[in-house]
C-alpha cells in the first residue's frame, strides 16, 4: 500500500505533484538540491490551495492538512529511504534523470515503485539505469497539475502489470484520469502536440501569418483553449526544443526536425513565460497578451 511518496524536483511540475498527493492525504517528501527552491515551492502550493479555497473546492482546514502532509528535504538519500513511491520531476534532461534513477535505485526500499514525470524520454532507457526495471514506470502529469485531470501512464519494456495497475488506481485516487501509453518517443501527448507547435513556428517563420493570427485561428477554429505559440511559451521553448530533438533522434524522420526559429530563440534565451519573453512578452501581474517586439509588424 502506498502511503509515503517522495517527489524529486521542486519546480513547476514537482510542486504541483506534491500538492496533489498531499491534498489526498499521502505523506509527501519534496526533495530538491536548492533549499530556496523548496521554500518557493511551499509558497506556491499554499497560494494554489488558497485559490482552491476561493473557488469553494476545499476548506481552510483541508489546506492546513495538506501542508502538514509535506516535508521538504535537500537530502535525496534520506528523502527516499522510506518511500513506497518515488516520482521524479527533475528537469527534462536525460543524463540528469539517469543519474537520479541510479541514485534512488540504490537507496529506495526493495518494493518501492520508481516513476518519472518525463514527457518524452524513454522509460525503458531510464529503467535500464536501475536494478528493478519492472518497477519503473512513466507517470506524466499535465501542467498545471492541481487543475489538469490527465495522467499519461507509460509502460517501459519491462514494467510489470502489477506496477501498471497500481499506478492506474493511484492516479484515480488523486482524482485524475489515467490513460495508458507504450514507450515510444514522445509517447502520445507530445508525439502529437509538439509537431503541431513546431509547425506553428514554421508557419510564423515562413510569414504565412503573424503570432496573433496563428493563435487566433487555432483557438477559434479548432476550439483550443490556448494558441500553439502561447502554449509553447507556457511550456518553455527550451522544453519544446528538447522534446523535438527526442522525436527527431528517436524516429530518424526529418518531419520532426526542430524549426530553426525555435532553435534560435532558445539560443537567444527567449524561452517564454519563464524568462519573461518568447512569442509574447510577460509582465508580472498582467494577464494581457502582448506580442514580442521581434514579431510585431
Asked whether the bond before 258 is cis by omega within 30 degrees of 0, the reply is: no
Give the Cα separation of 89 and 8 in Å (integer).
6
* The one catalytic residue among 92, 140, 155, 198: 140
Read off the C-alpha cell for 147: 487543475
* The one catalytic residue among 122, 155, 171, 190: 190
Give the Cα separation of 72 and 29 in Å (integer).
6
Strands 70-73 and 85-88: unpaired
**Has 152 been annotated as catalytic?**
yes
* The one catalytic residue among 152, 155, 198, 277: 152
Give the Cα separation of 236 and 13 in Å (integer).
13
**Has 143 been annotated as catalytic?**
no
Q: List phi, psi (to 5°) of 86.
A: -115, 130
* The one catalytic residue among 117, 119, 122, 171: 119
| Four-point Cα dihedral 71, 154, 257, 195, nearest 10 | -90
Q: Which residues are catalytic?
A: 119, 140, 152, 190
Amino acid at each position: 500500500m502506498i502511503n509515503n511518496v517522495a517527489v524529486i524536483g521542486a519546480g513547476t511540475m514537482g510542486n504541483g505533484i506534491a500538492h496533489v498527493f498531499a491534498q489526498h492525504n499521502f505523506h509527501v517528501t519534496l526533495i530538491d538540491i536548492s533549499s530556496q527552491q523548496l521554500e518557493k515551492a511551499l509558497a506556491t502550493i499554499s497560494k494554489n490551495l488558497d485559490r482552491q479555497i476561493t473557488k469553494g473546492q476545499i476548506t481552510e482546514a483541508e489546506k492546513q492538512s495538506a501542508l502538514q502532509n509535506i516535508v521538504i528535504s535537500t537530502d535525496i538519500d534520506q528523502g527516499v529511504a522510506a518511500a513506497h513511491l518515488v516520482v521524479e520531476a527533475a528537469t527534462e534532461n536525460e543524463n540528469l534523470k539517469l543519474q537520479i534513477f541510479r541514485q534512488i535505485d540504490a537507496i529506495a526500499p526493495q518494493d518501492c515503485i520508481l516513476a518519472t514525470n518525463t514527457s518524452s524520454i524513454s522509460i525503458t532507457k531510464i529503467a535500464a539505469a536501475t536494478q528493478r526495471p519492472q518497477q519503473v514506470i512513466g507517470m506524466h502529469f499535465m501542467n498545471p497539475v492541481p487543475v489538469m485531470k490527465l495522467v499519461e501512464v507509460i509502460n517501459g519494456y519491462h514494467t510489470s502489470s502489477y506496477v501498471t495497475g497500481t499506478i492506474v488506481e493511484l492516479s484515480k485516487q488523486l482524482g485524475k484520469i489515467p490513460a495508458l501509453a507504450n514507450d515510444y518517443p514522445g509517447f502520445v501527448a507530445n508525439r502529437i502536440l509538439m509537431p503541431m507547435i513546431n509547425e506553428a513556428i514554421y508557419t510564423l517563420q515562413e510569414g504565412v501569418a503573424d503570432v496573433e493570427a496563428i493563435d487566433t485561428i487555432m483557438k477559434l477554429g479548432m476550439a483550443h483553449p490556448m494558441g500553439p505559440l502561447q502554449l509553447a511559451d507556457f511550456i518553455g521553448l527550451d522544453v519544446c526544443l528538447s522534446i523535438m530533438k527526442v522525436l527527431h533522434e528517436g524516429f530518424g524522420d526529418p518531419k520532426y526536425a526542430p524549426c530553426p526559429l525555435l532553435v534560435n530563440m532558445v539560443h537567444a534565451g527567449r524561452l517564454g513565460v519563464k524568462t519573461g519573453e518568447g512569442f509574447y512578452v510577460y509582465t508580472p501581474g498582467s494577464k494581457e497578451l502582448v506580442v514580442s517586439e521581434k514579431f510585431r509588424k
